[in-house]
């Protein structure tokens, strides 16, 4: 939270006004307008100087002026903050700033916050990013769908609680191709699968309940459940997926009320749960009366063979709630996902969604409906699989060349990820920072399992093959040097 | 939650299969697929028969068959539910259904849930709906913007945490026209202003804190704050807006940490806070160090004269957090709103937004940016004002004709609403139901103030003038008969 966002503003050395005065004026305006409120901490001088593109000494003289004006002051414990009592805020005005560490929702993990920002920094090679490279997104097709839409009447009003019926009908049809038979009334449109996790956390689970999940898991990197007081209990995986042996004991011990799983091309490990394991999981949990939340974010992205039936396709009791999304195959920016489940549950989630955002973008919903209805999805996925296969194979080759003596890894049969297992544990936060210094953005294993110290999530979906080649080589050098 | 959603399915009397068997088969499929899980309550027979378009006796014989099959059973206390132990769910499978009444987030008020659903029922006259009539939405312009977009490269990837810089820049410029000077780094893009309320509830206020607000207020009709344990304390209004006298005592008594206000064309009363009252409010709260959440949802919708400066425009301390939206002027379906405030607060909210839905639809954001950048907004608002003025005046005439002896009301100078004050208190829930029977959908005063029994929120923005004429006449008859 203490990072300064300078909006990309930098002092202009072609002006007559000295740089330190330009900086001082800029910061004064921020403070006098209230954009930087009393008590706000400023970033460290080193970071500030870098962001403004000036020498440390220039910055120091700007800060000196601001201190003399009484606008900023030294903090106990080091650093600088906007003065609590200054010209601009001469009275004892409380301000929102006091509240930024309040609120029941946890902040993102510091590394995740950094990643979220740094992903928009040019020049970094993103070795672990969980999205398709822009060149793999169907830009041309989307443009032609937009052109079609521009000739019809648009849905500009609020949508109904479950979301556009046209889109739900299209999803219902799409799902029936993979053995999930769900009427539109069993489907809720979401602004991405993430929103589903958030709504389920808020709407279905009592405070203090326990959720079982794979360890590592994507779910550890977000706070949808922890922020509402739900405890996570991780179960081990093997190459066939979540291991079911421990489930019964854990259900009895923790009174777990739910099991979350990513059976198909798991994030972060890339593991595909085998058909046998799926049956075992369904049987074990049926006997225990344990509902399942199945996250199918990557299920369309098989590379070698189609995956076994989804858990939802095996469910006859309404015990599985299933999440899907267009983010990983088509466009994360559309923000279109869905939940499929028993109608009373879908209606409860729809009600909370109405309270959260009154539904998803009607334009995104219409575009998504056309995308599915007109068969673009199936054709696109075919091309995509070919591209991802090529990328996967190339990255596996790069790893053999550069990481043979440093790590081991799996050969994913779908999705985006290779789970790199380092031969020896490393301080991952340090590695993350050191990598950043040499232009690499990493997704370290501790994001997906707090105590992990020897994994990296690599993605062959985002960076170009040239970048991946440079990045993996550079990463191997860095890892060797640790 | 117990309402049956039949997806519009009805038995087909042209088929050879008797209606009751068609119904029984339909319900069997729902139960055997798990869409209607064990324990789910069915709607009352009367409602069910109406939804299916059959006689009560036909329904009864269908339900009889299902009972004989062991698929449904009578509930203690009346009604019917899916059998807890039946062929389909023969084991002791727990299911999600057990959870629909768990979760920390409150359900919507029953009347709001009903309204949310009924708004998509054809044929009802919606007398209180808080959105523009589809004919007032800029469909043609939006189509031509889409056509333009179909010729450029689209933003299909995840957006940065604060939202699209292009849109934030356009909003920053737009806001400067009304005296709010905010850099793009002080602006967060939201999926509608409602999402802002939700994020603020989750991210800025500690459990158990108190929020002051106008009574009545839109905020009473949603649960963004109550669901996270924040208490609401309502302050009275007069024709000049929120009355400031009580604030100091309430802040001392309740340790209130925030004041929420809709100063400009208040929902539901339509009241415009005068400039003098705004100064008074800013001064009173400054002395108390009380931050303000200003909801500017309707501020572009002045009809006679532009409103006084917004509270945010008067703020130099970063004490006001301001919400805006395109929903009330342009398109609710776009789901584009914004929060403007001190940068640390905006960043905290952005972080929670990233955890909620990874940002708003990139397509909606791009469309909104073009809409603002290219000056469509200002031109559209001008036309809109003319239309709304015409509608307001017509509805005021209708009220004089039909309600002169039954109620009093204000003459709104902007926004959508007329706050109808009935001469005598009425049981509003009963009135709501009775109105529905005669084809009218009402927004009753108790939605905005639990203890209210004599107000209705009328909107001149949604229904056509013909519908309004019929509806207001019918409503007057109904009210007289109570
Ligand atoms: C397993 C899994 N589920 C859900 C999501 C959320 O994706 P979205 O909200 O974009 O659909 C992701 C994205 O990283 C994911 O990896
Ligand atoms: C006062 C007020 N604020 C916020 C909203 C939320 O609107 P949206 O989320 O569509 O921007 C509304 C809508 O009814 C409103 O009346």
Q: What is the ipTM of this complex?
A: 0.92
Q: What is the mean pLDDT of residues A336-344?
A: 95
Write the class of the CATH domain B139-377: alpha beta
Residues 6 or more apart whose CB falls under 8 angstroms from that of A476 comprise A402, A403, A406
Phi, psi for A324 (deg, rounded to 5): -135, 170
Count the Cβ atoms, other than its own, within 10 Å of residue B408: 12
What's the pLDDT at B5? 56
Joined tokens for residue B155: 């933003």
CB A271 within 8 A of CB A262: no
Smallest Cα–Cα separation from B212: which of B288, B277, B274?
B288
**What would the pLDDT profile of A134-153 be if each residue is shown by its tens digit?**
999 999 999 999 999 999 98
Measured N-to-C along each axis, helices B376-403 and B139-149 cross at an angle, to the nearest 10 degrees, of: 160
Mutation for B interface: A95, A331, A339, most B CBs within 10 A: A95
Torsion-angle region of B358 (φ positive above 0: left; ψ -120 to 50: alpha; else: beta) = left
Tell me if B154 and A139 make a contact (CB, 8 A cut-off): yes
CATH 3.30.1330.30 fits B3-102, yes or no: no
Nearest CB to A335 within list B131, B186, B359 = B359
**Structure tokens belonging to residue A242:** 């979540």
| DSSP helix, strand, coil percent of chain B (3-state; round to 5) | 45, 15, 45
Pocket of ligand 1 (CB under 6 A): A 130, 192-194, 218, 262, 267, 295, 297, 325, 327, 332, 337; B 358
User: What is the residue-level pLDDT of chain B in tens, covering all 482 positions?
Assistant: 344 556 678 999 999 999 999 999 999 999 988 888 888 888 888 888 888 889 999 999 999 999 999 999 987 777 888 888 655 554 444 566 667 777 777 888 888 888 887 877 788 999 999 999 999 999 999 999 999 999 998 988 888 899 999 999 999 999 999 999 999 999 999 999 999 999 999 888 888 889 999 999 999 998 889 888 899 999 999 999 999 999 999 999 998 999 999 999 999 999 999 999 999 999 999 999 999 999 999 999 999 999 999 999 999 889 999 999 999 999 999 999 999 999 999 999 999 999 999 999 999 999 999 999 999 999 999 999 999 999 999 999 999 999 999 999 999 999 999 999 999 999 999 999 999 999 999 999 999 999 999 999 999 999 999 999 999 999 999 999 98
Q: Which residues of B touch A108 (CB under 8 A)?
A: 351, 354-355
Q: DSSP string covering B269-312, please?
A: T-PPPPHHHHHHHHHHHHHHT--EEEE-TTTT-BSSSPPPPPTG
Write out the two tokens for A57.
Answer: 């000494």
B130 lines ligand 2 (CB under 6 A): yes
* pTM given for the model: 0.93
Could you say which of 1.10.490.10, 3.40.190.10, 3.90.1150.10, 3.40.600.10 is the CATH number of the domain covering A125-136+383-481?
3.90.1150.10
- Distance between CA B89 and CA B75 in Å, rounded? 18
Question: B142: which chain A residues are within 8 Å (Cβ-Cβ)?
Answer: 154, 156
Tokens of residue B101, six digits: 């009444």
Does pLDDT of A10 surpass 60?
yes
Residue B479: count other Cβ atoms within 10 Å of its Cβ.
Answer: 21
The ligand with the least distance to the CA atom of A336 is: 1
Residues of chain A numbered 187-226 and touching chain B (CB < 8 Å)? 191-192, 194-195, 198, 201-207, 209, 222-224
Whether the CA torsion B198, B201, B207, B213 is positive or negative: it is: negative
Which pLDDT belongs to residue A95?
63
* Cβ contact, residue pair B202, A131, below 8 Å: no
Q: What is the pLDDT of residue B253?
A: 93
Out of B131, B319, B367, closest to residue A95 by CB: B319
- The answer to whether A42 and A79 are in contact (CB under 8 A) is yes
Q: Which residues of B touch A184 (CB under 8 A)?
A: 7
Q: Where are the domains of chain A?
A: 3-102, 125-136+383-481, 139-377
Burial level of A377, CB count in 10 A (0-12/13-18/19+)?
buried
Residue A39 has pLDDT above 90, yes or no: no
CB B129 within 8 A of CB B112: no
**Is the pLDDT assigned to residue A3 strictly greater than 70?**
no
Confidence category of residue A2, pLDDT binned at 50, 70, 90: very low
């Amino acid at each position: 939270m203490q990072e300064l966002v300078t909006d990309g503003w930098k002092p202009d050395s072609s002006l007559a006004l000295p740089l330190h005065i330009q900086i001082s004026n800029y910061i004064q305006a921020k403070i006098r307008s209230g954009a930087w409120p009393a008590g706000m901490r400023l970033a460290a001088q080193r970071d500030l100087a870098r962001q403004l593109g000036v020498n440390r000494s220039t910055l120091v003289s700007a800060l000196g002026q601001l201190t003399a004006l009484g606008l900023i002051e030294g903090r106990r414990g080091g650093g600088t903050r906007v003065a609590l009592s200054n010209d601009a805020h001469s009275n004892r005005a409380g301000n929102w700033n006091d509240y930024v560490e309040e609120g029941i929702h946890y902040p993102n993990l510091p590394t995740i916050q950094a990643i979220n920002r740094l992903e928009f920094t040019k020049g970094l090679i993103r070795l672990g990013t969980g999205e398709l490279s822009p060149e793999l997104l169907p830009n041309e097709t989307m443009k032609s769908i937009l052109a079609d839409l521009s000739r019809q009447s648009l849905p500009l009003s609020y949508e109904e609680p479950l979301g556009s019926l046209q889109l739900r009908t299209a999803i219902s049809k799409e799902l029936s191709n993979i053995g999930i038979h769900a009427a539109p009334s069993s489907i809720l449109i979401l602004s991405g699968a993430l929103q589903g996790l958030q709504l389920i956390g808020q709407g279905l689970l009592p405070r203090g309940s326990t959720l079982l999940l794979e360890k590592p898991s994507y779910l550890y990197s977000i706070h949808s459940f922890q922020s509402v007081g739900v405890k996570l209990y991780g179960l081990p995986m093997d190459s066939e997926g979540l291991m079911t042996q421990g489930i019964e004991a854990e259900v009895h011990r923790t009174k777990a009320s739910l099991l979350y799983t990513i059976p198909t091309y798991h994030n972060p490990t890339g593991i595909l749960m085998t058909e046998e394991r799926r049956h075992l999981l369904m049987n074990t949990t049926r006997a225990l009366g344990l509902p399942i939340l199945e996250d199918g974010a990557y299920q369309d992205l098989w590379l070698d063979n189609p995956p076994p039936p989804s858990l939802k396709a095996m469910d006859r009791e309404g015990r599985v709630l299933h999440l899907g999304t267009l983010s990983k195959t088509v466009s994360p920016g559309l923000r279109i996902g869905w939940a499929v489940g028993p109608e009373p549950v879908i209606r409860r989630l729809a009600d909370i969604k109405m309270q959260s955002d009154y539904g998803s973008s009607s334009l995104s919903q219409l575009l998504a409906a056309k995308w599915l209805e007109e068969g673009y999805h199936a054709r696109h996925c075919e091309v995509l699989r070919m591209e991802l296969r090529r990328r996967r194979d190339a990255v596996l080759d790069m790893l053999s060349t550069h990481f043979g003596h440093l790590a081991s890894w799996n050969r994913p049969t779908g999705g985006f990820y290779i789970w790199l297992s380092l031969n020896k544990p490393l301080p991952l936060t340090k590695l993350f920072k050191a990598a950043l210094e040499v232009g690499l953005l990493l997704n370290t294993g501790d994001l997906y399992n707090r105590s992990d110290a020897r994994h990296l999530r690599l993605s062959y979906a985002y960076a170009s093959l040239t970048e991946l080649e440079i990045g993996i080589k550079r990463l191997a050098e860095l890892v060797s040097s640790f």
